[in-house]
């Protein structure tokens, strides 16, 4: 469409129409989504049921299951314990102490329940070996673990941590994992204490519902108000019925699968009146977001239009080098004809015997401000005196090799160089070299093609693709912001309502503030992720590869979930891989590939759609694979998918630059490889990266 627009005035009208159409469409979709969300929020008022517990239960169960999975380290410890030696045992336990997954104590007990070795997590997050060991033979988890078989694992109930016979303050909501092992024909017990407070606190925080974790006898095990938590452990005798009042309604409960507990939810009537205000604020946010998206789309169309206008010039420049080579072959006719041909070239062209410049065209001399080659040679021995020393460009000398020797190693290998002209303007040249024979002597034709404008156009291509990526990211950010903004708004309105009715309790204020600060921090982290993605600064840095991959996954996770696409993340996070490369660019490549996979899964309406990620470390490289179950890429277009402007999407949906730019980033910036194969499920992309560039 853009390529057919020749009149600037008409195209301006088209851009304005595009802006208003996309703006109205986004506003319409946003208002519809908000209205549906509002109806869903109040739907429980008109039914016998209550809001579903699925999301809350999934979060809790997933995290508790993760704790069980993390308990595999018990097997690792067992495998390393061949015989009992305190110093050896101490080293093994310390090496397997993982505070990041909630472990705050790791110990080895003798068969009679006496601590032999213990490590604690201090408040400073340092892991410290305990010097004062305790007798745990009377603790219930030891008594129950005694009855399990050797190498079996026991999980305790959720209770409070006890040290020296007293409940530890502040309270640590604890579950214990015990493995019974036999070492040198003696029985020992490996015990892990997990802090599960964060699991319940982060999940139970909501201003619309009141959530409780209760025991089978309905005593309160956990609640955000610790005054009623841990009833059985502290012998308070507080049951669910004791704290339910007329302010709560529509109680429901659901068993915590695999654990002897139930989750109970009640609705706070005081918050229902704020739902209408939330709706109005969400509509205002939708208008702002729609304006930003429409502006971005209009800007992208304008950039594409400019690229189309310059396409003919770009094609001419691409053919220029071939014309230069074709002309230089005629240098064999005569020296006079050689000079004429050289001077006819718009690019630098000179002849060299491998040491000295034999002949140079006037273009080169004019560029440096000299009338003749003799004048040039009076002040300079070599054109390399003007080379700018910069990474990625040919230098006067590198690794003990002179620049022309590097060229002659492979005449077909192109090189780039930066040079300042007589007016101190920086230019970028592509150097090509070919060998010919003149007067029975071997000489080399060296051509410096000015590609400064082409490089600038490449930057525009990258900017165009980044703008397209930003458009999709804005949608992700809008989705990720909606819930925390709603929580902040609801918390603030809750404070206001309670204040206006004179029922504000000073003890409630810190809780409301915590909700607001927590969600504000989430918004800030989202912006930080977005900022890290779009910033253009390139920096070679050693990073942990898993963290860079997570940056991309955090950006697209919400979109995948909304489109019912399962992300099968098979990446090993327990063995961090350190890698040195240009930061920021891998995330852009992964987002491009993941978004392409998402689009094909949605286009083909794949049921049970999934995208699988794997990471494998080899001797001197790592391989990241991204596979989908979208059926694969047709064999006739498989070789073309990395070509510039190649796309199977409609022009309004794709530029054809995403995979091409991804290919160039991996090959040129990250010095790796990017390729794709079809599997029995669908397309599988391979990203190979060297561990050190």
Q: CA–CA separation, 180 vs 81, rounded Å?
A: 12
Check which CATH number belongs to the domain holding 159 and give it. 3.30.450.20
Q: How many percent of the chain have pLDDT more than 70?
A: 69
CATH code at 565? 3.30.565.10
pLDDT confidence band for 687 (50 / 70 / 90) = very high
Do 691 and 561 share a structural domain?
Answer: yes
* Per-residue pLDDT tens over the stretch 201-211: 877 776 567 78
334 — pLDDT class (breaks 50, 70, 90):
very low
Quick check: helix, strand or coil at residue 613? strand
> What pLDDT band is residue 198 in, cutting at 50, 70 and 90?
confident
Count up the domains in the chain and report the number.
3
Mean pLDDT of the chain: 77
Of 207, 298, 204, 306, the closest CA to residue 256 belongs to 204
Question: Do residues 690 and 554 both lie within one domain?
Answer: yes
Calculate the alpha carbon distances from 659 to 548, 641, 647, 666, 671 in Å: 19, 7, 9, 10, 16
Q: Is residue 610 part of a domain?
A: yes
Which ranges in 81-149 belong to alpha helices (H)? 86-95, 140-145
Q: Are residues 554 and 441 in the same domain?
A: no
Tell me, yes or no, whether 93 lies in a domain: yes
Residue 252 lies in a domain: no
Burial grade of 670 (CB within 10 A; 0-12, 13-18, 19 or more): buried
Distance from C-alpha of 558 to C-alpha of 569, rounded to nearest angstrom: 15
How far apart CA 206 and CA 198 sit, in angstroms, is 14
Contacts of 461 (CB under 8 A, 6+ apart): 307, 644, 657, 661
- Pairing of the two strands 610-617 and 566-569: parallel
Identify the domain boundary among 450, 477, 496: 450
> Lowest-confidence range among 475-479, 580-584, 667-671?
475-479
pLDDT beyond 90 at 2: no
| Radius of gyration of the chain from its Cα atoms, rounded to whole angstroms | 34
What residue numbers bound the domain in which 163 lies? Answer: 64-198
The yes-or-no verdict on residue 221 having pLDDT over 60 is: yes
Instruction: Pick 391 or 137 by higher pLDDT.
Output: 137
Residue 589 or residue 53, greater confidence? 589
Whether 549 is in a domain gets the answer: yes
- CA-nearest of 552, 535, 562, 536 to 475 is 562
Q: Tens of pLDDT along 153-193?
A: 888 888 888 887 788 888 888 989 999 999 888 999 999 99
pLDDT of amino acid 608: 93
Whether a cis peptide bond, with omega within 30° of 0, leads into 680 is no
pLDDT digits (tens, 9 = 90+) for 420-466: 888 887 888 888 777 666 666 677 788 888 777 766 666 566 656 56
* Residue bearing the bigger pLDDT, 67 or 273: 67
- pTM of the predicted model as reported, rounded to 2 decimal places: 0.37
Interval 403-411 mean pLDDT:
75
Is the per-residue pLDDT at 619 higher than 90? Answer: no
Residue 258 lies in a domain: no
Question: Greater confidence, 48 or 324?
Answer: 324
- Mean local confidence (pLDDT), 478-496: 66
When pLDDT is cut at 50, 70 and 90, the band that residue 79 belongs to is: confident
CA distance 684 to 632: 8
* 95-98, Cβ contacts within 8 angstroms, sequence gap of 24 or more: 97/121, 97/127, 98/70, 98/73
> Could you tell me if residue 674 is inside a domain?
yes
Among the three residues 176, 198, 220, which one is the final residue of a domain in this structure? 198
Residues 583 and 690 in one domain: yes
248: in domain: no
461: in domain: no
């Amino acid at each position: 469409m853009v390529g057919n627009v020749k009149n600037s005035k008409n195209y301006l009208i088209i851009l304005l129409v595009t802006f208003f159409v996309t703006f109205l469409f986004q506003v319409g979709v946003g208002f519809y989504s908000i209205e549906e969300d509002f109806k869903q929020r109040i739907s429980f008022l008109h039914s016998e049921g209550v809001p579903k517990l699925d999301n809350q239960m999934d979060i809790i169960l997933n995290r508790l299951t993760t704790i069980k999975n993390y308990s595999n380290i018990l097997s690792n410890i067992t495998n390393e314990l061949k015989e009992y030696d305190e110093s050896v045992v101490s080293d093994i336990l310390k090496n397997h102490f993982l505070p990041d997954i909630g472990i705050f104590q790791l110990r080895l007990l003798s068969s009679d329940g006496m601590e032999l070795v213990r490590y604690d997590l201090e408040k400073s997050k340092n892991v410290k070996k305990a010097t004062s060991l305790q007798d745990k033979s009377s603790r219930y988890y030891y008594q129950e673990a005694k009855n399990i078989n050797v190498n079996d694992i026991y999980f305790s109930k959720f209770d409070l941590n006890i040290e020296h016979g007293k409940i530890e303050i502040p309270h640590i909501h604890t579950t214990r994992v015990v493995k019974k092992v036999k070492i040198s024909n003696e029985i020992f017990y490996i015990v892990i204490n997990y802090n599960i407070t964060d699991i319940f606190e982060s999940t139970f925080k909501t201003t619309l519902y009141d959530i409780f974790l209760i025991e089978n006898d309905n005593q309160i095990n956990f609640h955000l108000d610790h005054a009623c938590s841990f009833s059985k452990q502290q012998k308070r005798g507080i049951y669910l019925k004791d704290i339910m009042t007329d302010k709560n309604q529509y109680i429901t409960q659901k068993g915590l699968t695999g654990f002897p507990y139930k989750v109970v939810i009640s609705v706070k009537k005081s918050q229902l009146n704020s739902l209408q205000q939330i709706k109005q604020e969400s509509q205002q946010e939708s208008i702002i977001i729609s304006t930003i998206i429409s502006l971005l789309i209009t800007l992208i169309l304008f950039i594409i239009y400019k690229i189309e206008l310059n396409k003919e010039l770009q094609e001419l420049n691409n053919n220029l080098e071939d014309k230069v080579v074709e002309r230089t072959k005629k240098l064999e006719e005569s020296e006079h004809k050689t000079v004429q041909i050289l001077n006819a070239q718009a690019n630098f062209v000179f002849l060299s015997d491998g040491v000295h410049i034999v002949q140079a065209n006037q273009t080169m001399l004019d560029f440096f401000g000299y009338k003749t080659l003799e004048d040039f040679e009076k002040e300079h021995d070599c054109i390399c005196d003007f080379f700018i020393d910069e990474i990625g460009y040919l230098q006067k000398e590198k690794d003990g090799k002179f620049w022309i020797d590097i060229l002659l190693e492979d005449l077909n290998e192109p090189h780039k160089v930066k040079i300042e002209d007589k007016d101190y303007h920086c230019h970028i040249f592509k150097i090509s070299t070919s060998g010919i024979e003149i007067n029975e002597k071997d000489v080399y034709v060296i051509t410096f093609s000015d590609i400064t404008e082409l490089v600038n156009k490449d930057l525009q291509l990258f900017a165009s693709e980044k703008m397209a990526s930003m458009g999709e990211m804005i949608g992700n950010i809008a989705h990720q912001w909606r819930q925390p903004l709603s929580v902040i708004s609801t918390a603030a309105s809750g404070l206001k309502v309670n204040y206006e009715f004179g029922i504000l309790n000073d003890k409630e204020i810190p809780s409301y503030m915590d909700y607001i600060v927590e969600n504000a921090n989430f918004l800030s982290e989202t912006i930080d992720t977005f900022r890290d993605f779009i910033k253009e600064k390139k920096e070679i840095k050693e990073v942990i590869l898993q963290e860079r991959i997570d940056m991309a996954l955090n950006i697209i996770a919400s979109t995948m979930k909304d489109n019912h696409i399962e992300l099968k993340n098979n990446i090993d996070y327990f063995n961090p891989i350190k890698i040195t490369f240009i930061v920021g660019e891998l995330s852009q490549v992964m987002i491009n590939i993941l978004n392409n996979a998402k689009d094909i899964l949605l286009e083909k309406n794949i049921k049970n759609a999934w995208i699988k990620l794997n990471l494998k470390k080899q001797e001197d490289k790592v391989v990241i694979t991204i596979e989908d179950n979208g059926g694969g890429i047709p064999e006739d277009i498989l070789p073309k998918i990395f070509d510039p402007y190649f796309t199977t999407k409609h022009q309004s949906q794709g530029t054809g630059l995403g995979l091409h730019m991804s290919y160039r980033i991996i090959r040129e910036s990250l010095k790796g490889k990017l390729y794709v194969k079809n599997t029995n499920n669908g397309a599988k992309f391979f990203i190979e990266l060297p561990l050190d560039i």
